[in-house]
């Protein structure tokens, strides 16, 4: 069978890097949109440019069999800063695909947070991006993938959990016991994305998860992190929701005043306190996905990488 030509954005991002490597390993012809200064994460053709470069997008998707849009902004100084990348970027590449690759299928990497767009500017931008993709492309050409929280080697955003588990005498619980959070290791997320890419498109949104689609509570997550760093069980301290909201509000204000964007904004605090980030059976894609990592082995794999690279 002839290999596919796959056009990929976001190849230097956390999930995008794993996708690039998985596509290269399985023999697909890979074409990546990369900033001029970026090093390719896998073997393949490089189109130099940025997401706002319409000519580069045309070159990226020309003749492609599959377009995977994994580029996106996960934190920003101001809520409106999400729109150019997360919404307009989808409009532009979906439009380029419609014009220059009329037979290509389009797979949009969204987020589970798109289910709850009222919680944060990030979630709202992801929901708007899905709407933009549906407007630009027929359902039979479009698949939307909603990953939950992704962790694994190289991730800077979940590193804080392991730093806390290694250094603190008391483990913080940043949400109530009723909160359920679906998780997935980045390698399993990449495999599930590619499995969905091989299915017929239906214009639907499918969610990813590990074998525990019902998710985990913060208590189990923090205890698993402590076991992964070799510290064992310790006392747990509930972080009041009001404190999370206050910290998030302060970080959001600091960003608006010119500070560096932080992941824990007011919107992210609301997301952390939302009780249900589980994945229902109806949200899972067609077929069965065997995950390589459960929470314990996935956290252990993450910690091993962090330590080998001096992050822990």
The string of DSSP codes covering 104-147 is -EEEEE--GGGG-TTS-HHHHHHHHHHHHHHHHS-GGGEEEEE-
Q: Supply the pLDDT for residue 200.
A: 81
Least confident of 184-193, 203-212, 234-243: 234-243
CA distance 285 to 282: 8
18 token code pair: 């794993």
Q: Which domains does the chain have, with CATH numbers?
A: 5-152+183-211+278-291 (3.40.50.720)
Element (H, E) at 283: none
Q: CA angle at residue 286 from 283 to 287, to 5 degrees?
A: 125
With contact defined as beta carbons under 8 Å apart, do 31 and 8 qualify? yes
3-state class of 56 per DSSP?
helix
Least confident of 8-22, 115-129, 204-218, 273-287: 273-287
- What does the mean pLDDT of the chain come to? 91
Nearest to 23 by CA among 49, 39, 41: 41
Q: State the pLDDT confidence band at 254, using cuts at 50, 70 and 90.
A: low
CA distance 137 to 152: 32
**pLDDT higher than 70, residue 238:** yes
Whole-prediction pTM value?
A: 0.93
Q: Supply the pLDDT for residue 1.
A: 44
What is the average pLDDT across 255-270? 72
Residue with tokens 């299928």: 105
């Amino acid at each position: 069978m002839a290999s596919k030509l796959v056009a990929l954005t976001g190849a230097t991002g956390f999930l995008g890097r794993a996708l690039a490597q998985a596509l290269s390993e399985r023999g697909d012809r890979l074409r990546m949109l990369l900033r001029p200064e970026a090093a390719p994460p896998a073997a393949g053709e490089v189109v130099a440019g940025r997401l706002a470069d319409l000519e580069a997008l045309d070159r990226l998707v020309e003749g492609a069999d599959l377009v995977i849009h994994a580029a996106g902004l996960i934190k920003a100084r101001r809520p409106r800063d999400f729109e150019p990348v997360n919404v307009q970027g989808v409009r532009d590449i979906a439009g380029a695909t419609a014009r220059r690759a009329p037979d290509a299928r389009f797979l949009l990497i969204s987020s589970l947070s798109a289910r709850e767009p009222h919680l944060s500017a990030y979630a709202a931008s992801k929901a708007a991006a899905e709407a933009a993709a549906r407007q630009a492309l027929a359902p039979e050409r479009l698949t939307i993938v909603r990953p939950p929280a992704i962790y694994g080697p190289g991730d800077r955003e979940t590193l804080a959990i392991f730093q806390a588990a290694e250094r603190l005498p008391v483990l913080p619980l940043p949400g109530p016991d009723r909160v359920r959070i679906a998780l997935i290791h980045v390698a399993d997320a990449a495999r599930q994305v590619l499995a969905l890419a091989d299915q017929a498109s239906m214009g639907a949104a499918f969610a990813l998860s590990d074998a525990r689609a019902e998710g985990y509570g913060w208590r189990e997550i923090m205890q698993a992190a402590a076991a992964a760093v070799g510290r064992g069980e310790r006392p747990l301290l509930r972080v009041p929701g009001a404190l999370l909201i206050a910290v998030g509000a302060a970080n959001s204000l600091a960003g608006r005043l010119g500070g560096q964007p932080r992941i824990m904004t007011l919107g992210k605090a609301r997301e952390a306190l939302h009780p249900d980030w589980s994945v229902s059976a109806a949200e899972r894609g067609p077929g069965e996905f065997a995950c390589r990592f459960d929470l314990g082995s996935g956290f252990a794999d993450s910690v091993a990488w962090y330590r080998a690279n001096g992050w822990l």
